[in-house]
Structure formats: structure tokens, C-alpha cells
Amino acid sequence: MKALNLYNEQDIRFEQSPAPVIENEDDVIIKVKAVGICGSDISRYKKLGPYVEGMTFGHEFAGEVTEVGAAVTNMAVGDRVAGCPTFYCGKCVPCQKGELSRCERLTVIGARHPGAYAEYVRLPATHLLPLPDNVDYDTAALVEPSSVVAHGFYRTSIRPGAEVAVMGCGSIGLLAVQWAKIFGAKKVYAIDIDDSKLEVAKQVGADICINSLHTPAHVQIAELTDGLGVDLAVESAGSPVTSAQVFALPRKGGEVVFMGIPYADISIERFYFEKIVRNELRVLGSWNAISPPFPGEEWHSSLHYMSTGQINVQPMISHHLSLEAGPQTFDDLIHRRGDYVKVLFYPEQEWA
């Protein structure tokens, strides 16, 4: 089968790989219909390299069931599904406490298990969710990042009527804009230095778009909130710079939730650090997207709001590509060539 396999830093190859087969009685084989590039995929490709040399990469996907193991009774060949790519051990202390996202051996397909940048992928039946009839494969491929964002929002104390600032309008930030509205935010501020991304943020529901390239975001937020700040600030850029700047956005007693991963050291100027102390901020980290009962309410809620249209991913999808375009696409992404927002690969599609 066609696949994208990661061999080293900045070494991803389009090649033929063995198709997965049923090995356990609860296994399901899925024909991948759409699979997205995650921000973490870009970072691992750029400077971290594979967990296992030559591993089939990718974990955000949706597809069609083509084969089921002998013990699988809740789905059949032809079913449309989204996949939760995450595995937890069930034995460590966090797992025993029901804190699945804090599992000491948490992993996803594409890391130590073959991933979804391929024509077919294998997962246990417990990792699959049936798709509502009105949720297409493109939308369902973003269930995983949507669930990551939902997991973060569930950690906060946001209430209807809140004002929310989202710093960084990549895929996670654009989904955060929509989840803020779902949680009842009366006003959502989208912050980025790229006007094209801010335009997409507006399309998915941001009330006010702020370009912070020349005027700091906190200065503009202060002007828009009579000097008070927002109730909740979401850091979704994963940048060392914004990971400090985000502390100046909330009001006194407000919250910050980190969803971005900077993969670099962070230096926090005194001005920003003192905001944590003097404003008595509540600072939260959020990791992955699973909770009991597995895979968790994040996944079911994501599919529900996708079916109602309250999560609309279509404006986010900037590129629809074949797997063969993978090596060039990853190279373009790390060198910032092209106007990319969210990339989806279609393993069935031939190179054009």
C-alpha cells in the first residue's frame, strides 16, 4: 500500500509498505479516506525525528471499515468511522486514577504503532467512533484535534458570557475559537500575525481579529475591554514568544490554558511573569484528548457539534493533496512556503 514513512529529521518518504492485517480478535482495518497534518507532526519531522525509524506517520484520520476481528460486534465492513489514535497503558498511577491523558506511557499511532498516512490503518474497535450521517470524512479527520481543544476547555472554569482570547490561529486556535462559542463565550478575540489566518478565524466565528505584529496583543485587548482583559486566554500558537505574552491577556483572577507546544526554551520577561502573580491568574496545561470512559466526552462532543454545524472545519482546510505530495508538503511547511492552514491527504487520490 502507499504510505508516508518517517526515517529521520526532515526525511519522510512516499513508498510502498505492507498493508496491515488482523492480528487480534478486536482489531479493525480501516481504509483511510482523509488524514490531516498535525502541528506536532511538523515539529517531529523538522527537529525531533521518528520514534521508530521508517514508521508510517500520521494520526488524524477518518475512513471506512474494510475488515473486523472475530470479537468485534459493534461495527461492520462499510461503516464510516473516525479514529482515536491514542493508547494508554491502564497500569500506571494516573491511569488507575482515571487520568488517562496523563498516562506515563501515552502514545499515538504514527509513533510506535503504524500511522494513518497510508491507504489502510489498524486500530482496536474501542478506538473507533461511528460517524453521524451528515459528517463527511474531511470533517471527521479533524475529530482528534477538536477533541484536544475540547479537553483543554473542559479543564477551565469558563462560563456563558465570558470573553475569550485565542492566541495563534493555526488549526488548534481555529478550533478553539469555535469551542469558545460552544462554551458560551459572548466575545472571542482571535490573535495572530498572519492576516490570512485571521480571515479564516473570522469565518469560523471570531468576533474581533487582532494582528499583533506591530502592536502587542495585550495593548489591543486592553483597549477593547476597558483595561480589564479577558476571562480566559488560550495559548494555541506553540511559540516561545506567545507562551510568555499570553499572560498579559486575562483580567485579574482570569485563566490561561496552554494547548500549544513550543518545543523550545521559553524566556518570560518580568512584565509578563508578574501578571501571573499580581493578577492571581490560574494557569492550566492541557495534554492530549482522552478521558474515561475511553475515549472520552471530548470525542463524542466533537462529533455532535460537527453534526450540528457548530464546529465547521471547511474554512480551515487549505490543501487537499495526495500522499505522494507529502515529502514536498512537509518541506514547504517547515520553510514557510505556501499559504497553508490545514492540509488533508487522500490516500486514494493519485498524483496530479
- Please write the tens of the pLDDT for every residue from 248-290: 999 999 999 999 988 889 999 999 999 999 999 999 999 999 9
The strand pairing partners of 188, in sequence order, are 164
Using one digit for the tens of pLDDT, what is the confidence trace for 328-337? Answer: 999 999 999 9
Q: Are 44 and 6 in contact (CB under 8 A)?
A: yes
Q: Does 82 have pLDDT greater than 60? A: yes
DSSP string of 140-204? HTTHHHHHHHHHHHHHS---TT-EEEEE--SHHHHHHHHHHHHTT-SEEEEEES-HHHHHHHHHT
pTM score: 0.96
CA distance 183 to 270: 32
Closest Cα partner for 189 from 142, 236, 152? 236
**Same fold across 2-142+313-345 and 147-285:** no
pLDDT at 352 (0 to 100): 52
pLDDT at 208 (0 to 100): 98
**3-state SS track over 229-255:** CEEEEEECCCCCCHHHHHHHCEEEEEE
**pLDDT confidence tier of residue 351, bands split at 50, 70 and 90:** low
- β-pairing, 342-345 vs 27-36, is antiparallel
Closest Cα partner for 61 from 3, 165, 139, 154? 139
Q: Does 18 have pLDDT greater than 80? A: yes
How many helices, marked H, and strands, marked E, lie in the chain? 11, 18
Q: In this structure, which topology does domain 147-285 adopt according to CATH? A: Rossmann fold (3.40.50)
Q: Does 350 have pLDDT greater than 80? A: no
CA distance 82 to 118: 15
Q: Which CATH class is domain 2-142+313-345?
A: alpha beta
Q: What share of the chain is helix, strand, coil (3-state, %, to 5)?
A: 30, 25, 40
How far is CA 108 from its chain centroid? 13
* Domain boundaries, given as residue ranges, for the chain: 2-142+313-345, 147-285
